[in-house]
């Protein structure tokens, strides 16, 4: 019971983190000219953040370090 509640709280925190990171003001920071390994900066930011959130979700759902 306690573990499922803690997991739900962590998932909600990750959701809020995703909302903040994919919201306009933060995206506007990376909407500048420039490339990262030939990929536009905004697209690189979106892909990296997407992968990080997926990784954090996987760790949270699978149990992580309890």
- Single pTM value for the model: 0.85
CA distance 45 to 52: 11
pLDDT in tens, 36-50: 999 999 999 999 999
Cα–Cα distances (Å) from 19 to 4, 7, 10, 14, 34, in that order, read: 22, 18, 14, 9, 24
Tell me: the pLDDT tens digits for 2-59?
A: 888 999 999 999 999 999 999 999 999 999 889 999 999 999 999 999 999 999 999 9
Determine the 3-state secondary structure of 36 from DSSP. strand
């Amino acid at each position: 019971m306690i573990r499922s509640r803690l997991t739900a709280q962590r998932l909600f925190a990750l959701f809020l983190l995703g909302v903040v990171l994919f919201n306009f003001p933060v995206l506007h920071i990376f909407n500048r000219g420039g490339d990262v390994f030939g990929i536009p900066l905004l697209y690189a930011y979106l892909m990296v953040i997407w992968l990080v959130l997926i990784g954090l979700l996987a760790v949270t759902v699978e149990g992580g370090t309890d």
